[in-house]
Amino acid sequence: MDKKSIFSKHRKNYKNFAHLLASMPEEDYLYNHHGEKWDCGQQLDHINRTVAVLAKASTMPRFLIRLKFGKANRPSRSYDEVVAFYRKGIEDGFKATGPFIPEAISYVDRQFHIDKMMKNIHKIERNIGKYSERNLDEIIVPHPALGILTMREIMYFTTYHVEDHIRQIKRNLSYRKSET
């Protein structure tokens, strides 16, 4: 997937996530079926935490990222390969840890946090959008679950990650609908 396609899908997925949460009634937003890991506010906080790290990293000069983490020694995986790699990690028991464990965000505060998320998404797209196609495949950064990823792979992951959390929210809400 080229840079333009990545950013188009990335933007679409985050807009879908923002719209889902912004248009949700309070009862749905706060609902958490037993057995589901997080309510909507926690989903939002988790996504915010992950994009904030990438937004911050995206402001670093490329030469400093290379100096700190090195240069890719393999080609970037495809979008589908990154998704499969992530899904396998989840199946093997990987869970959010440390700074990525979310706190609750109240229904009243959700729009503030949605806006904050979208500002970080724009920052990521603006900064990483300046990378060449070659930079996307050469510059590497660490991911807490997946290890070292190229910038292209981290963009694939970030694009899929929010989509996965949309599915989790919809699955959680499907239990609520069956209870009523």
- Tell me which residue of 65, 24, 52, 59 sits closest to 173, measured CA to CA: 24
Q: Residue 176's pLDDT is what?
A: 77
Chain length of the chain: 180
| Nearest by Cα to 42 from 175, 176, 167, 165 | 165
Q: How many Å apart are CA 20 and CA 37, to the nearest integer?
A: 18
Low-confidence ranges of the chain (pLDDT < 70): 35-36, 179-180
Give the predicted TM-score (pTM) of the model: 0.94
Specify the pLDDT at position 164.
Answer: 96
**CATH code that applies to domain 3-29+38-179:** 1.20.120
The pLDDT assigned to 38 comes to 92
Helix (H, G, I), strand (E, B) or coil at 2: coil
Q: What distance in Å separates the CA atoms of residue 10 and residue 28, rounded to the nearest whole number?
A: 25
**CA 169/CA 36 separation, integer angstroms:** 9
DSSP per-residue codes, 96-146? --GGGS-----TTTHHHHHHHHHHHHHHHHHHHTTS-HHHHHHBEEEETTT
Domain boundaries, the chain: 3-29+38-179
What pLDDT score does 33 carry? Answer: 86
